[in-house]
Amino acid sequence: MADDIRALSDVLARDPASLVYADLAEALRRRGDVEQALGVAQRGLSRHPDHADGLDCVGRIHADRGDFAQARDAWAHVLAVAPTHAGALKGMAFALFREGDRFGAETLLEQALAAHPEDEAARRALETVRRSEVGAPAPAAAAAPAPPSPPAAPPVRPEPAPVNAAAERPPVFRGMEGATADILLFDDRGLVVAGGIAGPQGADVSELAAAALAGVSGEAGRTAQYLSLGPWGTIVAEAERANLVLAPVGAGALLLVRRDRSMPVGLTVRIAERAQGAARAWLERQGA
Amino acid sequence: MSDVLDRALDRISRVRGVRGSMIVAADDGIAVAELLMDGVNGKAVAALAGSLARKMGGAAAVTGAGRVRFLQMDAAEGTLLVAAAPRDLVVVALGDPSVNVGLCRIEMMRAAEAAAR
């Protein structure tokens, strides 16, 4: 291990832009030098801000330090740039499971296995999650990419109510279909404001969705202006199982609407426009 | 391969209102092939298309919507269309607001098939 670290350090010293920083940070993390590992990873990411393996390593370092909010941020960033990254899917699943979101964890592990059927760690973790009951231990060693000694898991909710977090947010879209499960208002930094998006198993995935789309508004706006396209209005994504509509709501806020693929795209856009109007009115009432 | 892609891009660019078409690597937004009208900044189009594909793809993945097949960004003075292609490529078209999206989409899907060969 010490030889590995020395060798990796030498490579990085010769070429500070090398992606080997992620291997060095991981080796340091495994040795227990988490602060040093974090420094190495952060310096590497300053040169390669969207490097998925480096971000994944940062997620594991934060998990080691017990900072699961930061770990989730790092893994959400990975999934935004590399949606099938096995380490991030397993890491995020570990974080969700630890927070009691068994269904969210299961969904992500299923995605990991769909993308990497040979991943035995993901398979074992999924089996453990599915077997888990109230008070069962977290599948830490299997789900997380080798966190050395994660804290014990809190009691697991046997049947979490779908999108509970969304129900506690301001009722901006009340009366609209999918008000707390298919319509999400968030800001351009990726912070959830109102509404919610439920995952396939009913768990609230609003924060993940918002994190995945952080920065997209500014980027689209700047580039659209640069290309003389004027202000952008909507971004429609047609995916395998659902269509997504993203629309700006005033300065710095964004709306995401999801509808089943069986619904015509034009109708989904009309629904998004209605939700956009509701969001605008609510934001104005808040003085935003 | 290059001739096939060039022909595919040519067909897209013949759709009325299309200002240019490209094939772009989704992970880094670098153009693999392009056919653009004068004055269209290919690097900016490719970077935006790659970024949108990654970010909307990330959102679709975490929300269970599955893999994104087609993206459309409507702006006041133009439309950006992005179609998923094999090998982590995307087919991109930049058009006027009035561009025939359906026709353009058909040609983009053909280009995606060409990119697979």
Give, as one character, the DSSP assignment of residue B26: T
With a CB cutoff of 8 Å and minimum separation 6, the contacts of A41 are A21, A22, A25, A54, A57, A58, A61
CATH label of the domain that carries residue A56: 1.25.40.10
- A81: closest chain B residue by CA: B54
Please tell me the distance from the alpha carbon of residue A192 to that of residue B34, in angstroms, as a whole number.
Answer: 38
Find chain A residues with C-beta within 8 A of B63's C-beta. 197, 199, 205, 208-209, 242, 244, 258
Which of B27, B54, B62, B71 has the highest number of chain A CBs within 10 A, making it the mutation to test binding with A?
A: B62
This prediction has a pTM of 0.61
> CB–CB of A83/A54 below 8 Å?
no
Is A153 domain-assigned?
no
Can you tell me the mean pLDDT for A201-224? 86
- Give the gap in angstroms from C-alpha A226 to the nearest C-alpha of chain B: 8
Do the chains contact at A212 and B74, CB–CB below 8 Å? Answer: no
Q: Are residues A132 and A180 in the same domain?
A: no
**Domains in chain B with CATH codes:** 2-116 (3.30.450.30)
pLDDT digits (tens, 9 = 90+) for B13-52: 999 999 999 999 887 788 889 999 988 889 889 988 988 8
pLDDT in tens, A251-271: 789 999 999 999 989 999 999
First-to-last alpha carbon distance for chain A, in angstroms, is: 54
Total number of domains in chain A = 2
In a domain, A158, yes or no: no
- Predicted-assembly ipTM surpassing the 0.90 threshold: yes
Residue A126 pLDDT exceeds 60: yes
pLDDT of A26 strictly over 90: no
Q: What is the pLDDT of residues B44-61, one digit of tens each?
A: 899 889 888 988 998 998
What would the mean pLDDT of A208-231 be, rounded to a whole number?
87
Is residue A118 situated within a structural domain?
yes
CATH of the domain at A192: 3.30.450.30
Greatest mean pLDDT among A40-54, A151-165, A192-206, B10-24 lies in: B10-24
Is A127 a residue whose pLDDT tops 60? yes
What mean pLDDT do residues A179-193 have? 90
Domain that holds residue A273: 164-285
Residue A151 resides in a domain: no
> What pLDDT shows up at residue B112?
93
User: CA-CA-CA-CA torsion for A39, A41, A43, A49, nearest 10 degrees?
Assistant: -140
Q: What pLDDT sits at residue A288?
A: 63
Q: Which of A134-138, A170-174, B3-7, B66-70 has the lowest mean pLDDT?
A: A134-138
User: Per-residue pLDDT for A146 more than 50?
Assistant: no
Q: Which has the minimum average pLDDT: A114-123, B31-40, B82-91?
A: A114-123
Q: Which residue has the higher pLDDT, A222 or A59?
A: A59
* pLDDT at residue A140 greater than cutoff 50: no
Could you tell me if B26 lies within 8 Å of chain A, comparing CB atoms? no
Q: What is the pLDDT of residues A226-242, one digit of tens each?
A: 888 999 999 999 999 99
> Is the same domain home to A135 and A8?
yes
- In whole angstroms, give the CA distance from residue B74 to residue B76: 7
Residue A277 tokens, joined: 């109007």
- Shared domain for A125 and A202, answered yes or no, is no
Residues A124 and A175 in one domain: no
Per-residue pLDDT tens digits for A81-101: 788 888 888 888 888 777 777
Question: What pLDDT does A58 receive?
Answer: 92
For the four alpha carbons of A208, A119, A8 and A30, in that order, the dihedral sign comes to positive
Chain B positions in Cβ-Cβ contact with residue A82 (cut-off 8 Å): 27
Average pLDDT over residues A169-195: 90
Q: How far apart, in Å, do the first and last CA atoms of chain B sit?
A: 8
Residue B55, SS3?
helix
Q: Cβ distance A99 to A66 under 8 Å?
A: no
Backbone angles phi, psi at A197, to 5 degrees: -125, 125
By C-alpha distance, which of B17, B41, B39 is closest to B29?
A: B41
